[in-house]
Structure 1
Amino acid sequence: MIVSASYRTDIPAFYGEWFRERLRAGHCMVANPYGSRPYRVALTADAVDGFVFWTRNVAPFLPALEEVTARRLPFIVQYTATGYPREWERATLPADAAIAQMRALATAYGQRAVVWRYDPILFADGMDADWHRATFRRMAQALAGAVDEAVVSILAPYRKTMRNLDRAAQHRGLAWRVPEPEESAPLLGDLAQIARESGMRLTLCAQPDRLTKDVASAACIDARRLSDVAGRDIMARVKGNRPGCLCAESRDIGRYDTCPHGCAYCYAVADHDKARRTHRAHDPAAESLSPAAR
């Protein structure tokens, strides 16, 4: 079993102590996002084939990575870094700091253990296609040799995401929009070329309607990459979460509405104030990441 930690929240940035406690205990409890009924996920070496960690700040999690490595369990870090203005990302690391962390991870654990996510691509005032080309080029050049894949998607907001985006836009007097595929296609083609120039391939996360000849579908839970990290075959069937998703089957141990980063476009948080309160009330010694999953 591959364990995802987590596309529902940033466990490495905010819940690393809890993860270490659960790793030592050999299990955790997880609330089903549909109805909150809890279930048990084993975290022992004989139950876990590997981990996929999702984060915007891995520094607090480095001791946990050492413990995972000591158990001879492979892992991949899906690291999101976009360099967006504070209007849209009010509490994330600056791009240069995020790049430094990714380079350090690659040095310590190898290039195949790190994937850069420039995701999602948000079109807003002051952030048009040319802005994204320039920002992506600057970051890709800084990451050359450290990562071999850059995952992107064009923002396709859920209803709760639209509310947060509208609230942020109104507060700052800005506007945002979702481009049509014919507008995003030239940008994706250019980003693919920029990525190639820096030794990366560009992949698109679960947006089959926006694929171009230069861009492949992403497998964010990637058993083949995990196998490369492990030095052995890790077998897992493809079981995507939505059309166009090529992710391998996994168990996610996170919980929605628990990440306090405050990104306006985040699909995993409906209420940023509630997420911050939940984080403050978190008990690292609990079986579950939040009390509702006990």
Structure 2
Amino acid sequence: MTWEKANIIIDGQKMEVPAPDIISASRSTDIPAFYADWFFHRLETGYSVWNNPFNGKKSYISYRNTRFIVFWSKNPKPLLPYLPILKERGIGCYIQFTLNDYEEDGLETGVPPLTERIETFRTLSDILGKEAVIWRFDPLILTDNISVDTLIEKIERVGTEIHNCTEKLVFSFADIGSYKKVKANMTDSGIPYHEWNKEKMEELAGKLTVLNRNRGWNLELATCGENLDLGKYRISRNRCIDGDLIARLAWKDKELMSALGVIIQEMP
């Protein structure tokens, strides 16, 4: 898909830059947790600029046509005071909320206590609707102390608190060996991790499906970035930017639906 272009003025010079209708903010950096103030300032200004880490060149994006934002975060609480601004500007959103339970394992630092994150999840669901808050348990990590059964217990513990606040659970299996920095951090921290194999993945998938059914959650289950087909467990592959979900959410707002209608139809 080719986005329209928009003209912006920087240092007295006119530049033509991409002006997408849908923004992903952002998988590489937790913008809601750490840069919410900056993001909404840039939204008001009308454009953002950043240095490309691969070639060092500046990249620009215009928000002139923005009608929908997909937020990714482990702590989207700082977004709460800004949600009315999105509504005022006629911009829809949904949130991919990574809500793990590794508090006692020391695997996630720099995030609020689990109870606070659960409360944030509920609040966002109340404000945006449960279909607009996606629960991600990501990634699933195996160690000497965390087995498949332990992970199912963790998912059940969190799901018991939030299953009525969402419609979807997305998960992935940690591929630690493929990421040198992550592997080094785990080794330096003395965490005896284990890699996933097909047998373990299918074991977890089967137990998760049973949990979802027996607890009456009836959540849509999906994997993220996994090649293994788990369709026999009624687990699909997630779409990072879900055109069908955007259409559902936009349908509530006739102006938003009108603005995004053609764009959604063109999405893969």
Instruction: Normalising by structure 1, report the TM-score.
Output: 0.74
SS at match of 2:116: helix
Check conservation: 1:185, 1:212, Cα contact below 8 A: no
Match of 1:225 among 235, 238, 245: 245
Q: 2:159 aligns with which of 122, 137, 140?
A: 140
Report whether the alignment pairs 1:204 with 2:234: no
The residue matched to 2:164 in structure 1 has which SS? coil
The reply on whether 1:36 has 2:56 as its aligned counterpart is yes
Determine whether 1:53 maps to 2:71.
yes
- Indicate the residue corresponding to 2:80 in structure 1: 62
1:120 aligns with 2:139: yes
Contact 1:103-1:146 at 8 Å conserved across structures: yes
Say if 2:140 is the partner of 1:110.
Answer: no
The Cα shift of 1:93 comes to 2.2
Q: Report the aligned-residue RMSD.
A: 1.6
Match of 2:182 in 1: 161
Q: Which runs of 4+ in 1 moved over 6 A?
A: none
Tell me which residue corresponds to 2:196. 179
Corresponding residue for residue 264 of structure 1: none
Task: Report the structure, 1 or 2, having the larger strand content.
Answer: 2
The one-letter code matched in structure 1 to 2:100 is: T
Match of 1:71 in 2: 89
Q: Which amino acid aligns with 1:82?
A: N
Instruction: Say if 1:193 and 1:33 are closer, same or farther in 2 by CA, change over 3 A.
Output: farther
* Structure 1: runs of 5+ lacking an equivalent: 239-294
- Cα deviations across residues 51-74 of structure 1 (Å, max 9, x unaligned)? 011111122121222211211111
Match of 1:216 in 2: 236
Q: 1:36 to 1:188 in 2, by over 3 A?
A: farther
Q: How many residues align?
A: 232
Structure of greater Rg: 2
More helix by share: 2
Higher relative contact order (CA 8 A, sep 6+): 1
Q: State the TM-score, normalizing by the size of structure 2.
A: 0.81
Give the Cα separation in 2 of the matches to 1:109 and 1:27.
Answer: 25
**Over residues 258-278 of structure 1, what are the superposed CA-to-partner deviations in whole Å (9 max), with x where a residue is unaligned?**
xxxxxxxxxxxxxxxxxxxxx
- Structure 1 pair 38–156 and aligned structure 2 pair: CA distance change class (3 A): same
Sequence identity of aligned pairs in percent? 28
Aligned residues of 1:181 and 1:210 also touching (Cα < 8 A): no
